[in-house]
Amino acid sequence: MIKVSVMYANELGSRFDHTYYRDKHMPLVQARLGDACKYYTIDKGISAANAGNTTVYVAMCRIFSGSVEALETGLGPHAEEFNAAMRRAWLPSTSPWAPRRSSLLVSRSANSG
């Protein structure tokens, strides 16, 4: 079992539509991936460790799959559709000096043995 973590930066001036992401985007991803997506989780960044600071990530999702190969096979034909749909949820800052950050991490799930 592998876990893919996608993290969306909380940039000054950016906007993230959590309702769209939860109700439309991730169900679309799960439907297109089929059996390659065993399940997924969504986290909403609400607070930073230090009072007064903003959270580094505005949202994160984790997709659990049987293998890297299964996930790649499921993602490949739908990559453009996923990217277009994601632009409806996360609008990075339009500031020319703001970083454009979203992060992707693929790891072996702790309970996969």
Q: Is the dihedral of CA 86, 90, 95, 98 positive or negative?
A: negative
DSSP assignment of 96-111, as one string? TTS---EEEEEEE-GG
pLDDT band with cut points at 50, 70 and 90 for residue 111: low
Instruction: Dump pLDDT digits (tens) for 33-56.
Output: 999 999 999 999 877 666 666 777
pLDDT tens by residue, 69-82: 898 888 888 888 87
- The pLDDT confidence band at residue 62, using thresholds 50, 70 and 90, is very high
Each residue's pLDDT tens digit, 80-109? 887 777 766 666 555 444 444 555 666 666
- Cβ count within 10 A of residue 56: 13
How do residues 20-31 score in pLDDT, each as one tens digit? 889 988 999 999
The pLDDT of residue 13 is 73
**Looking at residue 58, what is its pLDDT?**
84
What dihedral angle (degrees, nearest 10) is formed by the CA atoms of 89, 95, 96, 101?
Answer: -40
